[in-house]
Amino acid sequence: MIRSATIATLIFSLAPIGPVLAQTSKDQQKQEDEQRAKSEDARRKAEEAISKEMELQRQRAKVVIMAAENEARAAQEEAEQILIEPYVVPWEVDKDFDKVRVLFDMAGAQHEITIMLIEEGKIDDAVKEASKIMTLGFPERYDLFLVNELDEIVGELESRSQYDAAIKILQMGQNYLHHPEAKAGCLMQVAKIHRMNNRRDLAIQAYRQAIALNQQALAKREPEKKKK
């Protein structure tokens, strides 16, 4: 009888365990769901912050690129205004179009020959070939094109430390350019190369020649402004 009562007591005392365990399991599940929701919300906010930062960086990069492009465009327009625009007459451009188109093709081929010779280390031959570009007979309003040609060839020579050859080409080009501004540009490069090689007296001399040519160009443009 005592034994039966003991068993009954145990059964009675164990009876609530099932619902308690079920409630505990529900609470744990709820906590896990809440933690998962918090983690998901934190992840989403982090992704949004990263996305916003990347968009800001893209916008900043776009602004910087646009500013650089505008600056380069303004410089190009200014150079063209100095070297080309005052000398262009529309009917002359039309009249010379066929000739100039052929000259551009010839200059392009001559340019490639010059660059290949520089790459092969045949510097003296490259200088001779470069001189042929200058003697093709471009009208004076194409000084800017010739200056760009000189810049590219001189850049190739400088990258190989062929400074004397670069100076020779610049001095040669100066003799074939028409406008003082263009000639002064060549002299500025000559001065820079001399200075890089610690030939200060020659650099100063070239800088002074460039200044004189620019003063000549300014003096020439003053009467044109007064006429307007």
d(CA 216, CA 194): 24
| CA neighbor of 77 nearest in space, from 144, 164, 131, 9 | 144
Both tokens of 213, joined, read: 């040519």
Model confidence band, residue 115 (pLDDT cutoffs 50, 70, 90): very high
Label residue 86 by pLDDT band (50, 70, 90): very low
Of 14-18, 51-55, 144-148, give the range with the top mean pLDDT. 144-148
What's the confidence (pLDDT) of residue 36? 82
Name the band, by pLDDT with cuts 50, 70 and 90, for residue 75: low
User: Average pLDDT for residues 171-182, to the nearest whole number?
Assistant: 88
Taking a C-beta distance cutoff of 8 angstroms, is the pair 187, 171 a contact? no
The residues near 141 (Cβ < 8 Å, ≥ 6 apart) are: 83, 84, 87, 88
* The predicted structure's pLDDT at residue 90: 41
Nearest C-alpha neighbor of 125 from the set 135, 138, 110: 110
State the pLDDT at residue 78.
55
Tell me: pLDDT of 94 over 60.
no
Residue 113: count other Cβ atoms within 10 Å of its Cβ: 15
| Token digits of residue 199 | 């030939």
CA angle 142, 143, 144 (to 5 degrees): 90
Dihedral sign, Cα of residue 37, residue 43, residue 46, residue 51: negative
What does the pLDDT read at residue 23?
A: 62
